[in-house]
Structure 1
Amino acid sequence: MKLTILGCYAATPRTLTNPTSQLLEIKNRLFLIDCGEGTQVQLRKNKIKFSKINQVFISHLHGDHFYGLIGLISTFSLLNRNNDLHIYGPKGIREIIMLQLRLSNSWPNFGLHFHELTSNQSELVYEDEKVMVKTIPLKHRVYTNGFLFQEKIDKRKLNVEAVQKYQIEKCYYQNIKNGKDILLDDGTLVNNAELTFDPESPRSYAFCSDTAYNEAIIPIIEKADVLYHESTFLKSEENLAAKTMHCTAIEAATIADKAQVKKLILGHYSTRYDTINRFKEEAETVFPNVLLADDGISFDL
């Protein structure tokens, strides 16, 4: 599982900073999370293949989280994309994108599918044989969701030495991985635990931006391997955070601590501060395992 930060600053793009967008690689799938201005440029800088992105998750309809989407869709068309593109986001995302495509007469040459979200409860919005994605209802000035990406439990891993010891034919390997015991020709029943290793524990990644402090999300993200949580302000501007329905670094760390996550990544910084290191210092007074997002940084999770 690898996370690439394409942009992690609040409000507006600047010369050296970009608004929110990130790419999560999990089980050989690429999920684009939010798509602020400049996202496709950042994708190119990070040498990410556009054709591998088939799902886009948009948290909310503030411009710094989706204004790059129409440009990305347009570029996909110019690159003669064939794969369908699925967009998950708040109700209204379809209307906005389709209006721009219609007025510019720029219909894509690939399938464009919108999955509009309206529920205020956590719901499963994507699932395949390897990964599932649930919404994390957030508390912001407009309807907003975070997203919880979870690996499914893998099949058991074959113990090659054990199967060779019992001279088990390869045609039975798939059944063994699926957890079945094996009956040998002499009538001996070999327990599956002797022939396999436990699979790795499934990992999870929770994306939460933008939101006011909201303990209601704790049961949803509890014990996640990694939590990305917005930290727009420092404690010195907590009144401004409350007014704009954002969080301080300490509030993000408090959520991480109460949810017992393993790692916290901070992001969505206000550009009023001269250094983002102050966010880490402040958060570590509450939660010990804090990392700082920054444009172009990748995390191997």
Structure 2
Amino acid sequence: MDFELKILGSSSATPSFERNHTAQLLTVGNQINLIDCGEGTQMQLMRYKVKHQRICNIFISHLHGDHYFGLAGLLSTMHLQQRTGHLNLFGPKGLAEIITLQFKYGGTQLPYHINFVEVDTTVSRKIFEDKYMTVHTLPMQHRVPCCGYLFREKPKPRHLLKGKLPSFLTPPQLVRLKWGEDIINEHGDVLVRNQEVTSAPKRSRSYAYCSDTKYKEDILPLVHGVDLLYHESTFLSDLEHRATHTFHSTAAQAATLAEKAQVRRLLIGHFSARYKDLSPLLVEAQSIFPNTALATEGKTISVLE
């Protein structure tokens, strides 16, 4: 099953010719999740041949324009393309009001239902669950209410070893074996031991998206050990005072968090437009956490089971 991240935009407040505003796609199984939706996201979806209608959930981190100004346009295009399937839209207080007001004064009546889910950006809480994954909020520290999102695959079933399975087992018993149970009779005697007829399940994967924030160590327990961590890295360390003043992070701070959280891989993004060459940010981060990459447009990262 796919667990794949694609970067659509990596710039901070001001876009450039080569860098768009923040937007990412996380594909889990056959489900596509859009994380933030800055200006130009529609164009990026077309560039990378992603069908708008396949997006099931949209997660907005906060209400600074570079993270959601592309949303109304995307929803409108879904309307023009006669989307019928419902859409889950997660974001902080005010997002539903903004979108509803835009469509009200534009005379737009959507042919599909938007399920607005207002998130509390001050706590970590489960906000979504389906058969594939769970999603929790990650509290950020920014100038406006802001949260990140933690995506975790659900535990997977064990593998049945067909050559070792007794022929008398029923379909319900096979299901119980796949979920780690022994098969017992009415007297409590073990008929089939799970460990003898199954092998370990494939690993469940995880992705943590840390949007705009000051360096914030209290999220370490929440993101500890994740397979892939994205953390904003707007500035180099020589502008740490600027990062602190604007409630952003440096590349070194992002790498320090990744190291302390013992994550497997780090992506840095949300780069200030002042940096035409991003290699110094990568070098700064890799000096602390070597397994770091730039979250630049078009990059696709598959997390293996």
2:280 equivalent to 1:278:
yes
Partners of 2:232 and 2:168 lie apart in 1 by 53
| Moved beyond 6 Å, runs of 4+ | none
Percent sequence identity is: 44
Out of 214, 217, 228, the residue aligned to residue 212 of structure 1 is: 214
8 Å contact 1:27–1:151 — kept in the other structure? no
SS in 2 for 1:42: helix
1:237-252 matches, within 5 Å, as: 237-252=239-254
Q: Is contact 2:121-2:146 (8 Å) kept?
A: no
Whether the aligned pair in 1 keeps the contact of 2:79 and 2:112 (CA below 8 Å) is yes
Distance 1:42 1:119 in 2: 28
Aligned-residue offset at 1:274: 2.5
The TM-score, its normalising length taken from structure 2, stands at: 0.93
Q: What TM-score comes out, normalization by structure 1 length?
A: 0.94
Aligned counterparts, 1:186-201, within 5 A: 189-201=191-203
Cα distance in 2, alignment partners of residues 293 and 231 from structure 1: 10
User: Which whole-Å CA distance do the structure 1 matches of 2:243 and 2:182 have between them?
Assistant: 57
Q: How many residues align?
A: 297
Contact 1:27–1:131 (8 Å) recurs in 2: no
CA RMSD of aligned residues (A): 1.6
What is the match of residue 158 of structure 2?
156
Which digits, 9 at most, give the CA deviation of each residue in 1:143-182, with x for residues without a partner? 000000011101111212222xx33557343233233334
- Provide Cα deviations, 1:108-165, integer angstroms capped at 9, x if missing partner: 11001111123511111111222100000000010000000011101111212222xx
Pick the aligned partner of 1:58 from 57, 60, 83. 60
Aligned residue number for residue 107 of structure 1: 109
Give the Cα–Cα distance (whole angstroms) in 2 for the partners of residues 108 and 130 of structure 1: 28
CA distance in 1, matches of 2:288, 2:181: 46
SS of the equivalent of 1:100 reads helix
Give the Cα–Cα distance (whole angstroms) in 2 for the partners of residues 219 and 169 of structure 1: 42
1:156-195 matches, within 5 Å, as 156-163=158-165, 166-168=166-168, 171=171, 172-182=173-183, 189-195=191-197
Write out per-residue CA displacement over residues 17-63 of structure 1, whole angstroms, 9 at most, x where no aligned residue.
10000000123321110000111111111121222211100000000
- Name structure 2 gaps, 5 residues minimum: none
Counterparts of 1:26-105 in structure 2, within 5 Å, are: 26-105=28-107
Aligned-pair CA distance for 1:15: 2.2
C-alpha displacement of 1:101:
0.2
For each residue in 1:182-224, what CA deviation from the matched residue of structure 2 results, as whole angstroms up to 9, or x when unmatched? 469xx98221112111112211100001011111111111111
2:305 is aligned with 1:264 = no
In structure 2, give the amino acid aligned to 1:88.
F
Offset at residue 6 of structure 1 (A): 0.5
Kept in 1, the 8 Å contact 2:121–2:137? The answer is: no
CA distance in 2, matches of 1:275, 1:148: 30
Return the letter of the residue paired with 1:59: S
The 8 Å contact of residues 15 and 273 in structure 2, kept in 1 or not, is answered as no
Shift of 1:225: 1.0
Using the alignment, how far apart are the partners of 1:33 and 1:241 within structure 2?
23
